[in-house]
Amino acid sequence: MDQLELRDDEIEALGMRGFFVRDAFLGKERAHAVHSEARERAQAGTLKPAGIRRGADRTEDTSVRDDFIGWILPEAGSALGSLWEAFSELGGALSAGAYLGLGRFDLQLAHYPGGGARYVRHRDAFPGQSNRRVTAIYYANPDWRPEHGGMLRLYLEDGTLDVEPTLDRLVVFLSERLEHEVLPAHAPRLALTAWYYGRDGAGLR
């Protein structure tokens, strides 16, 4: 496989607007394999409701987010394992191309079951507080149609942009900079999200 490299326009977009979108990240065949494995995990019933509060009563807080999540670990020979490798390379490319000084990352599978499941407007990190620097989301929805909803809404300086969660699409944004939300999904929606941490543990200024 060719070494993953960022294009100049992607690096520029990340700096200027705080994000970029790349289609055909893995190629059709690998993308479908990721979709199959991700769907299997979702159907196996081992994912956990993401909206559980960490507080005393641990009740489900469905007003914030309605997805079910699990962590993806490196694993040789599987499609999700190869996606993990691709995210690892992406981290290296972001550090080399955009001087972001990224270190480790976590990779999460999120399944929105449909029925209007959403994730309200939020940020993944807060300046000076978190060491999450970059968010990268990979979508695994081969049959996505506009009526399925579940767009990723990005809140940019000059308005909002809705990104369709289509198969093999990658969205990369600065975790502290961009507010975003998942609009209500009316069909099952699969996303794999990596959060890259700063090598020094400090936030990006």
Contact partner, 6, from ligand OGA, Mn ion, none, Cβ < 5-8 Å per class? none
Smallest separation (angstroms) from Mn ion to the CB of 40: 24
As measured in angstroms, the least distance from the Cβ of 76 to ligand OGA is: 26
Q: From CA 180, how far away is CA 160, in angstroms rounded?
A: 9
Q: How far is the CB of 119 from ligand OGA (least distance, A)?
A: 5
Alpha-carbon distance of 77 to 37, in angstroms, equals 12
All residues at 6 or more sequence positions from 187 whose CB lies less than 8 Å from its CB, including other chains? 114, 143, 144, 145, 148, 149, 150
DSSP state of 60: B
**Beta strand pairing status for 159-163 and 102-112?**
unpaired
Identify what 191 binds: ligand OGA, Mn ion, none; CB under 5 to 8 Å per kind: ligand OGA
How near is the Cβ of 180 to Mn ion at its closest, in Å? Answer: 6
Give the nearer residue to Mn ion in terms of CB position, either 79 or 87: 87
Give the three-class secondary structure for 183: strand
Closest chain position to Mn ion (CB)? 124
- Residue 137 interacts with, from Mn ion, ligand OGA, none (CB under 5-8 Å by kind): ligand OGA
38 touches which of Mn ion, ligand OGA, none (CB within 5 to 8 A by kind)? none
Interface contacts to ligand OGA, rule CB under 6 A: 110, 119, 124, 137, 152, 180, 182, 191, 193
Q: Give percent helix, percent strand, percent coil of the chain, each to the nearest 5.
A: 25, 35, 40
Looking at beta carbons only, is 72 or 191 nearer to ligand OGA?
191
> Where do contacts with Mn ion occur on this chain (CB under 5 A)?
124
User: Can you list the alpha helix ranges (DSSP code H) found in 18-99?
Assistant: 28-43, 79-98
